[in-house]
Structure formats: C-alpha cells, structure tokens
C-alpha cells in the first residue's frame, strides 16, 4: 500500500495518469516492503489536529503499518487503527462548550477532578469489543506508572482501557488500573512516542508534534534576584486590597491587576506546556523522527475541545507543508531498498 501511494503521487493517478503507472518500469519493479510508522503526540484538545494529518496521508495513499500514540494521540490513533476515524471526527466536530462540560463528571473523592465514566461510555459505543491484538495494524499507547514513573507500553488488551490510561492527565482524570499497575498520562515520560513506533517495527517514522509551534523555548537565567525596594512597595500596596476585615476578600480574583500572580488555569496550562516542550525536545534529540509534522496550534488552548474544526484544518495544512519532505524520504528509501 505504501509504494502504491508513492507511485500514484509520482505518476499522477487520479488525474488521468493511470496507464502511465501500469506501464512504468518503476511500477513493475519488485520492491522490499518498508514499514511506515506514525508517532502521534500528546497535547489535549490540540490533538484533534491528528485527524487532519491522517486525512491528508490517507488521501496521498500513505498508509501506516504501525501507530504509536500518547494521550490524545492514543485516542485518534486507536480510532484510526479500528477504522472508526469517521465517527471520531463527527463527534469532535459536534462538540460545543456546553457539550464538553456535560461530558465531564466532576467529583472530589477520587484521584482527579474528573472520573471519566461519561467519556468511557461514549468510547464504548463504537469500540466496546475492540482488542489491540485484533487490529489490522500494529498499535500501542504510552502510559506512566504512578509511584515508580515507569514508562509503560500498552500493546495488548482492550483498546478503550489503553486509551483511557494514556490520557489520564494527573489531577484532572482519575488514574486507570491495568495489570496491577495504576497508570496515568504517558505525556509525562514520552509525549511523542517515536521510540515506540521504531520498536514495533517501523523502518521510517513520521511524528506529529502538537507542541512544536508553542512559543516556549526556555533558556537559563544565570543571575536573578529580587529588587527588594520594589517588592516591599508592591507588597504594601497589595495587602489592603487582598484582605478585608474578616480575611481574604471574595472578589480578589475580579480585582486582579497586571502585577498580580497568574490564575490557576494559567498556571496549569503553562506548567503542562513547559513540561511537554522540555520532555519532547529531550526525547526527540535522542531518537529523532524521519519527518516531523508541526501544526501551528499556538492559538488553540489545551482544553478548547470545541475548536475541533480549527485544529483539523491546522493539521491538514501542516501535513500539506510536510508532504515534499515525506516524499523525498520515501523516494530515498525506495532507492536504498
């Protein structure tokens, strides 16, 4: 299927060039089958862009033999492997802010803010009987073991359970117990699982980095300290405003000024972005992909799941930009093979 896709691209199938493909000496040459792997990265709501990536690759006849997914990448990759990408795309496009909130079963007694049972029931509607061993291509997800920090590759079992374990963001979703281990989001250890795709037998790996466009490129500030006079003055002005006679003012959040500390939502999102960026850069430096697709997702918030249409289109655009590199890679591999 892979080389069929390359041949279609090279000789114009679909635009009146079918006969030239059949008669071409290149088309008749026996070729060694190279396995293509996709590593679909983590990134919460930005992961809807994986759908756009898959659509363009599918259109070009570039069909993966191996998919490794982390977090939202596990969801999209698993649905693709199970031939349920159409259903997932329809669901994603149907989301509104109101519906997203309706899917979140908040609680205060668990290990996270969200139990995840409503999302699980939604996945069961289309994937209830799916097992990874029965999928038509090699598929794996990445999770992190609670307590030890072990990187766990989930390669067998119920597809839904593997997805849930991979996207169990700490503090947000409850961890998932599989095989005697409590598992949480794989993004903590391997956000873009290129290593997994190679281990599953991929000769060439295309990865999708959902954080490549996020403008966090930390450096080292070698000398920093407080400006004591400024901080004393700011603290003196701040104290009466934050506190009333009976304690903290309830309207403190509404009266924030530019000099105030960030809100909890900003802290969580920045912490997640910084962590993803640092871990991703480190892992990719150790095992770089053959081609990296980087959708321009910086305008999309981590939890803006209602913006699926924007994300899918950004995924399409990024893949279109990467196609010359992908075909250059495939042609070089064909010559070597």
Which pair of tokens denotes residue 279? 């871990």
* 71 classed as catalytic: yes
Residue of 49, 65, 71, 277 with catalytic role: 71
Q: Is 200 helix (H, G, I), strand (E, B) or coil?
A: coil
CB distance 207 to 293 below 8 Å:
yes
Residue 64 CA to residue 140 CA, distance in Å, equals 13
* 49 classed as catalytic: no
CB distance 280 to 42 below 8 Å:
no
> Look-up: residue for tokens 């920093």?
224
Residue of 65, 161, 174, 185 with catalytic role: 185
Which pair of tokens denotes residue 80? 């693709």
Q: How many CB atoms lie within 10 A of CB 214?
A: 21
Burial 43-81 (b: 16+ CB within 10 A, else e): bbbbbbbbbbbbbbbeebbbebbbbbbbbbbbbbbbbbb
DSSP β-ladder status, 151-154 and 176-178: unpaired
CB distance 193 to 68 below 8 Å:
yes
Catalytic residues: 71, 185
């Amino acid at each position: 299927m892979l080389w069929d896709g390359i041949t279609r691209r090279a000789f114009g199938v679909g635009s009146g060039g079918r006969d030239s493909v059949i008669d071409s000496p290149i088309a008749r040459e026996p070729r060694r089958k190279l396995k293509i792997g996709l590593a679909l990265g983590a990134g919460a709501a930005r992961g809807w862009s994986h759908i756009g990536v898959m659509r363009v690759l599918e259109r070009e006849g570039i069909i993966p033999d191996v998919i490794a997914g982390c977090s939202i990448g596990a969801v999209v990759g698993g649905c693709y492997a199970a031939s349920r990408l159409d259903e997932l795309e329809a669901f994603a496009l149907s989301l509104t802010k109101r519906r997203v909130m309706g899917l979140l079963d908040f609680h205060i007694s668990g290990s996270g803010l969200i139990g995840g049972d409503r999302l699980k029931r939604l996945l069961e509607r289309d994937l209830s009987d799916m097992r990874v061993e029965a999928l038509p291509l090699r598929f794996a997800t990445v999770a992190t073991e609670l307590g030890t920090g072990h990187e766990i590759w989930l390669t067998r079992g119920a597809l839904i359970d593997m997805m849930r374990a991979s996207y169990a963001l700490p503090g947000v979703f409850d961890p998932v117990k599989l095989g005697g281990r409590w598992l949480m989001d794989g993004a903590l250890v391997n956000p873009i699982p290129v290593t997994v795709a190679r281990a599953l037998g991929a000769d060439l790996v295309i990865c999708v980095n959902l954080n490549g466009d996020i403008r966090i490129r930390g450096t080292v500030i070698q000398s920093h300290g407080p400006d004591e006079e400024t901080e004393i003055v700011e603290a003196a002005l701040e104290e009466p405003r934050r506190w009333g006679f009976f304690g903290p003012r309830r309207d403190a959040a509404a009266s924030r000024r530019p000099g105030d500390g960030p809100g909890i939502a900003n802290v969580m999102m920045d912490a997640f972005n910084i962590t993803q960026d640092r871990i991703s850069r480190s892992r990719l430096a150790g095992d770089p992909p053959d081609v990296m697709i980087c959708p321009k997702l910086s305008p999309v918030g981590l939890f803006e799941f209602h913006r699926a249409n924007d994300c899918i289109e950004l995924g399409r655009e990024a893949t279109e930009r990467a196609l010359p590199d992908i075909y250059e890679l495939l042609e070089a591999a064909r010559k070597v093979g």
